[in-house]
Structure 1
Amino acid sequence: MQFHHHGYVSGDPRVQPAAGVGVDRPAELPDEVDVLIVGSGPAGMLTAAQLSQFPGVTTRIVERRGGRLAIGQADGIQARSVETFQAFGFAERIIAEAYRITEVAFWKPDPADPSRIVRTARTLDDPAGISEFPHLIVNQARVLDYFAEVMANAPTRMSPDYGLEFRSLEVSGEGDYPVTVTLLHTAGPDAGRERVVRAKYVVGADGARSKVRESIGCTLAGDRANHAWGVMDVLAVTDFPDIRTKCAIQSGTGGSILLIPREGGHLFRMYVDLGEVPQDDAGAVRKTTIEQIVAQANEILHPYTLDVRNVAWHSVYEVGHRLTDRFDDVLPDQRGTRTPRVFITGDACHTHSAKAGQGMNVSMQDGFNLGWKLGHVLEGRSPESLLSTYSAERQVIAKDLIDFDKEWSTLMAKKPEEFDNPSELEDFYVRTAEFPAGFMTHYGPSMLIAAPAHQDLATGFTIGKRFKSAPVVRVCDTNPVQLGHHATADGRWRIYVFADAALAGAPSPVADFAEWIANAPDSPLAATPSGADRDAWFDVKVIYQQDHTSLDIGTVPAAFKPQVGPFRLTDYEKVYGTDPAADIFELRGLDRGGVVVVVRPDQYVANVLPLTATAELAAFFAPLLPVAKPAEA
């Protein structure tokens, strides 16, 4: 974490100085806003947290509840989400309070006595070492709390506006605030009174029954699997030995349980198989009582017993897989003629089973994808056409998620005798581990993703996939660090310059690149507003092939040591050497002749280029930047 560059900070450095719309932020919801977010679930809160980093953008998030969420239904935090939390600054703290999944145990009927279950296999949760971040279990409410803290500490001093329910919207296409939104006060002295707000953009993060989705004419299409599950978060006494280990349990009676230990050392969640739902059920299965769910769990666990002492939460649901065909308000015949004004995210776009732990995780990535794009457009960094990439990118990802979840939930509902291979369930879990961990997202070529013409220069940084971190050593203070962990969710593009073999200061391609990016009129840095720090829009880092002891930071080009803050202090923390124990050039297949890796603000690799391809780099960024330099910030 860097601070003091604006003067001495004696308090919590996570609290950024108020700026822009955060100075004297009105407590009451204004009549006009840049972005109105409806719903304070994971997708909405992450979108708001990202937009809170843009001081010039007025963003408000409304929630029909009267206050913060006390207990949430989602709890699985995949490694990609923890990676995202790192960018927002709270990964270490949430890891400390969460339950960490390291192994999964598989239980099946005992061949000698099918009425009993026995442990048949264990597997590592991340057998291939996909990420340095762990797979966690922590209540959704705590995730929202952390994002609320990020918003409150941001320059815009954001906080949710509770007690306001979305009723309707109308897009006029006219004026600076073309979306008219009608809200209803649900709490406080104004309860029952309608309120009208005008916005430039609206984000519907209001769940599976989204009214924002309805207002733009989208519907969830799909099917139900006609299979019901009871889910309960409980405190219990049991002789089941793996009660504190994630388990997939299949019984001789055909019933199944997915056991998820929870944070705190005592609480755990069970997804309990309630069986097939008759076509004429008419919702009767949803009346299954907690006593019936516990009884079914005991039957599946035989010969072990479960004595439930306290129920924190429980519900019954039928597996359903549904998806909208678009994630914004632009109809198919309007594409290319206008840009979107209304977006939907999370469960408003895609619904599926909870057992793969994907709902909250994929929803947050929806918000991460959309948030920085709205910020760039509203601050004048990028054209409005950027916003059309949100639906194009995320709808494909949601379709992949539903296809995966259909296979996983079908396997979980199978009876043991229906498997062709006794180890089919655990084999699927291991084989597909990268997908539920959140790392199979792969965006195709677009204005944001270059064609893979030079992919061979960086085989470990796949264009369109997330930037996979690796160890390096920071030269200025000799600290070993993870390179990707210093990419904060501040809305900046990252340009990682992996140097050729020459030492810093010697004539070389990396020295020529540094001169170009610092001074050339077609460099993306030339778009940086006058008066702003040189790295305000682009974070340019250099990684040399030598270890830190062989590098003289005084000879490193000035492009990699920008002056920042009102005192024009030198930032030395953008210069790295290789870690002798884990050479990033070897780990990520980087060409020894040097390579430039461009990474989007949401951590996805956008381009890979040789050091000499400055014209290609300029051409890539040209459609994404203002035609003329903005006025002084």
Structure 2
Amino acid sequence: MQFHVNGFVPGDPDVHPAAPGRRRPGDPLPDTVDVLIAGSGPAGLCLAAQLARVPGIRTMLVEPKLAPMEKGQADGISVRSMEMFQAFGFGEKVMRESVWINETTFWAPGADAALARVARVQDVPDGISEMPHVLINQARVHDMFLDLMRRSPTRLEPDYGLKVVDLAIDTAAAEYPVTVTLEHTAPDREGQRATLRANYVVGCDGARSAVRGAIGGALHGDAAHQAWGVMDVLATTDFPDWRMKSFVRSKDEGILMVLPREGGHLVRLYVELDALGEHERVADRGMGAADIIAKAQRIFRPFALDVKEVVWWSIYEIGHRLTDKFDDVPAAQVATRAPRVMLAGDACHTHSPKAGQGMNVSMGDTFNLGWKLISVLTGRADAALLHSYSGERRAAAQGLVEFDHKWARVVGARSEDDAADGLPRVAREFVANLPFTCGLTIQYERSALTGAPTHQHLAAGLPIGKRFHSAPVVRLADAKPMHLGHCIEADARFRLFVFAPAGDTGGRGGAVAALCDWLEHDAASPLRRHTAPGEDVDAVIDVRAVFPQDFRALEYGAMPTLLRPRVGRYGLTDYEKVFCADTKRGEDVFALRGIDRAAGCIVVVRPDQYVGHVLPLAAREELAAYFAAILRVRT
């Protein structure tokens, strides 16, 4: 990480200087805000954490509950979410606190009807990510976002005890067109209402979203009419795989899933309960924790299960539902107005927890939205950019709902008669779907943000529209081994990775120097066109170079000035723009990611870590056109 850029600052470098005029806890409700976020679940907090970093954006986060979450709900963190956490700066903390899922085991009745382990598979395929698949209490994820918000310039904190009950949009108003009605939920103020106006409202308020209802949205889909129980327990058992992620199917009692939790002792169980009638709800059965425990004990037989403490439990129905659109603009009006109200997370898609994607996809929604809102509110992009949110994330959610529907049927299958290659069907399907459950199959379709694959062959291992797959490198200035993707922070900037061709050492006459000279000095350069006067040269588009040579074969001082930029009020040199292949450890980024070693290339990475374009080093006009379609001219 970098700090002291604008002068020496003692103490914790993660605590940013407080912005003047910020709102403090306990202050009266404001009359206007730039962004109102409804709901402080994973989607709401992921968005708030991004917006909190920008001093000029006034954000308010309202939450009906009276205090932060402490336990329960989601637990699985996909490798894609871990990559995102790395961008926020708390990926390593999550890795230290969480339990890593390394193997998944499958249990089914053997020849004598007793449970037997029928398969075990590696949970995360080799080489798919530098990050693990982990399990951790959702409340701890909330804590980490909340800590980041408190340390950000705006010192943003949720307003607990407030919920959105209604909103109205004045489509003719240029400023603060959304009037929001809030209602207090604290016992001493319950039912009291207040209004404020916002430029944008984001509904992260769950499956019963008031924001969704206010813009006429609805969830469409179906239910499997099956009750499931979930509980976090401290227990003793002789089941051998108590600390493994396990699928257990009994002969006559149904199925359950074992998910070890952080701390070495806590375990979560997902337990199949009763089938429900066509119009029956879980609440009609009056089931409780004792019913979940009893059913789990029957499924586990002949293994014993003695529950010492139930930390948290819930009973739910499986549902697979999706909204028509993730914003307030009807299809017929897309060309004439930009979104003002958007939905994220369970407010626009719901599904079962079996694939472990709910929290992950919800955070993916607002990681996609956050940089776009920042770009619009800071004047870097036109409001039309916000249309891309619904287009990109609804397609991603549609894929999740379809996968979840299929996976729920596989997990709930009563027979393993179709075993093949030594694996039962559920294990076979699990292996086939690992890239999906890792969160790595999303590929955004071609758009202004996602270029044509004309030059994809130059970086075959970095598909356009998919997340940027990091690889080991060595930083030239200090010989530090690191992952290239870890220089991507959640700061709303584009990254432009320049992969040098063989023989190029960065000096004059080479392709890298020529490109950098154009980027830094030519009036047609996207850096010149889209960076505002007074901003650092990398404030909007962060250019970094990667060379195929060993770091000892290059001289930092010979690099183009764009790769040794002067930044901050003192004009200090940024020494972290140049990288080399890690030849000492034999981890060649060019080979690992299919980079054309002879030609080199440019890889554009969006602020949400997805590859926006792959271009030749000489493709000046194409590069300028890509950014011109997204960003405003600000010179």
Do both proteins adopt the same fold according to a TM-score greater than 0.5, normalized to the shorter chain?
yes
Equivalent residue, structure 2, for 1:344: 343
Provide Cα deviations, 1:537-583, integer angstroms capped at 9, x if missing partner: 11110111111000000000001111111110000111111111111
Letter aligned with residue 505 of structure 1:
G
For 1:505-554, what per-residue CA distance to the aligned partner results, in whole angstroms no more than 9, with x for missing partners? 14111111010000111111112121121111111101111110000000
Letter in 1 for 2:377: L
Secondary structure at the counterpart of residue 118 of structure 1: strand
Which residue does 1:291 correspond to in 2? 290
2:575 aligns with: 572
Residues 94-493 of structure 1: matches in 2 within 5 Å?
Answer: 94-111=94-111, 113-114=112-113, 116-173=114-171, 174-187=173-186, 190-279=189-278, 281-283=280-282, 286-417=285-416, 419=418, 421=420, 423-493=424-494
Could you report, residue by residue, the CA deviation over 1:178-220 in whole angstroms, capped at 9, with x for unpaired residues?
0000001222754432110100000000001101000001100
Distance 1:350 1:282 in 2: 20
For residue 20 of structure 1, report the CA deviation from its aligned partner.
Answer: 6.0
Q: Distance in 1 between matches of 2:398 and 2:607?
A: 23
Could you tell me whether the CA contact under 8 Å between 1:285 and 1:316 is conserved in 2?
A: no
Contact 2:166 2:180 in 1 (8 A): yes
Structure 1 partner of 2:612: 606
| Contact 1:234–1:269 (Cα < 8 Å) also in 2 | yes
Give the aligned partner of residue 596 of structure 2.
591
Give the Å deviation of 1:72. Answer: 3.2
Unaligned runs of 5+ in 2: none
Deviations 1:11-66 (A, max 9, x none): 00011122365488983331100100000000000011111122211111111111
Q: Distance in 1 between matches of 2:56 and 2:288?
A: 51
* 8 Å CA contact 1:48, 1:59 repeated in 2: yes
> Per-residue deviation at 1:417?
4.8
CA distance in 2: counterparts of 1:97 and 1:326, whole angstroms: 37
CA contact (8 A) 2:532 2:634 kept: no
Aligned match of 1:535: 538
Deviation at 1:122, TM superposition (A): 1.0
Q: Which secondary structure state, in structure 2, belongs to the residue aligned with residue 273 of structure 1? A: strand
Cα separation, partners in 2 of 1:23 and 1:313, compared to 1, 3 Å:
closer
State the distance in 1 between where 2:453 and 2:26 align: 47
What CA distance in whole angstroms lies between the structure 2 residues aligned with 1:25 and 1:17?
Answer: 17
Secondary structure of the structure 2 residue equivalent to 1:339: coil
User: 2:233 and 2:269 mapped to 1: Cα distance?
Assistant: 8
How many Å separate the matches in 2 of 1:256 and 1:140?
24
Distance 1:565 1:597 in 2: 26
> In the superposition, relative to structure 1, how do residues 8 and 246 fare at CA in structure 2: closer, same or farther (>3 Å)?
same
Alpha-carbon distance in 1 for matches of 2:484, 2:176:
41
Q: Compute the RMSD of aligned alpha carbons.
A: 1.5
Q: Secondary structure at the match of 1:435?
A: helix
Q: Structure 1 20/389 Cα, relative in aligned 2: closer, same or farther at 3 Å?
A: farther
What secondary structure is seen at the aligned counterpart in 1 of 2:86?
Answer: helix
Match of 1:522 in 2: 524
1:10 is aligned to 2:15: no
Deviations 1:427-467 (A, max 9, x none): 11111101011110100111111111111110011000000
CA deviation digits over 1:57-113, x for unaligned, max 9?
1111111111111223001111111111100000111111111100011111011x1
Q: What residue is the counterpart of 2:29 in the other structure?
A: 29
Partner letter of residue 136 of structure 2? Answer: V
What one-letter code is carried by the residue in structure 2 that aligns with 1:452? Answer: P
* Kept after mapping to 2: 8 A contact 1:104/1:122: yes
Contact 2:282 2:315 in 1 (8 A): no
The alpha-carbon deviation at position 3 of structure 1 amounts to 0.9
SS of the residue 2:542 aligns to: strand
Quote how far apart the aligned CAs of 1:613 are: 0.3
CA distance in 2, matches of 1:280, 1:325: 24
Deviation at 1:489, TM superposition (A): 0.3
C-alpha distance in structure 2 between counterparts of 1:108 and 1:10, whole Å = 58
Code of the residue aligned with 2:392 in structure 1: it is E
Among residues 623, 626, 629, which one is paired with 1:623 in the alignment? Answer: 629
CA distance in 2, matches of 1:23, 1:354: 37
The one-letter code of the counterpart of 2:595 is L
Q: Which amino acid aligns with 2:17?
A: P
- Are the aligned partners of 2:227 and 2:274 in contact in 1 as well (CA < 8 Å)? yes
Q: Bigger shift: 364-373 or 618-627?
A: 618-627
Q: Give the match's secondary structure for 2:428.
A: helix
Q: Is the 8 A contact 1:476 1:573 kept in 2?
A: yes
Q: Secondary structure at the match of 2:437?
A: coil
1:88 aligns with 2:88: yes
Say whether the 8 Å CA contact 1:185–1:191 is kept in structure 2: yes
Pair 628,427 (structure 1): closer, same or farther in 2 beyond 3 Å: same
Alignment deviations for residues 359-412 of structure 1 (CA, whole Å, 9 cap, x no partner):
000000001001110010010000111000000000000010011111111111
Question: Aligned partners of 1:428 and 1:325: how far apart in 2?
Answer: 29
What one-letter code is carried by the residue in structure 1 that aligns with 2:588? D
CA deviation profile, 1:459-499 (whole Å, cap 9, x unmatched): 01100000000011001110111000111101110000111
Deviations 1:218-254 (CA, angstroms, capped at 9, x unpaired): 1000001122211111111111111111100111115
Kept after mapping to 1: 8 A contact 2:72/2:232: no
For residues 628 and 239 of structure 1, the distance between their equivalents in structure 2, rounded to whole angstroms, comes to 66
Q: 2:77 matched to which residue of 1?
A: 77
Q: How many Å separate the matches in 2 of 1:624 and 1:175?
A: 21
Q: Which deviates the most, 411-420 or 552-561?
A: 411-420
Range that drifts further, 125-134 or 26-35: 26-35
> Helix, strand or coil: the match of 1:297?
helix
Q: Deviations over 1:98-135 (max 9, x none)?
A: 11100011111011x11x10111111101343111011
Q: 1:156 deviation in Å? A: 1.8
Gaps of 5+ in 1: none
Question: 1: CA distance between counterparts of 2:23 and 2:268?
Answer: 44
Give the alignment's TM-score, normalised by structure 2. Answer: 0.96
1: CA distance between counterparts of 2:21 and 2:436? 39
Pick which of 186-195 and 263-272 moved more: 186-195
After superposition, the Cα gap between the structure-2 partners of 1:197 and 1:257, relative to the gap in structure 1 and judged at 3 Å, is same
Tell me if 1:558 matches 2:558: no
Partners of 2:548 and 2:127 in 1: CA distance: 24
- In structure 1, C-alpha distance between the alignment counterparts of 2:283 and 2:59, rounded to whole Å: 42
Q: Which amino acid aligns with 1:224?
A: A
| Letter matched to residue 594 of structure 2 | G
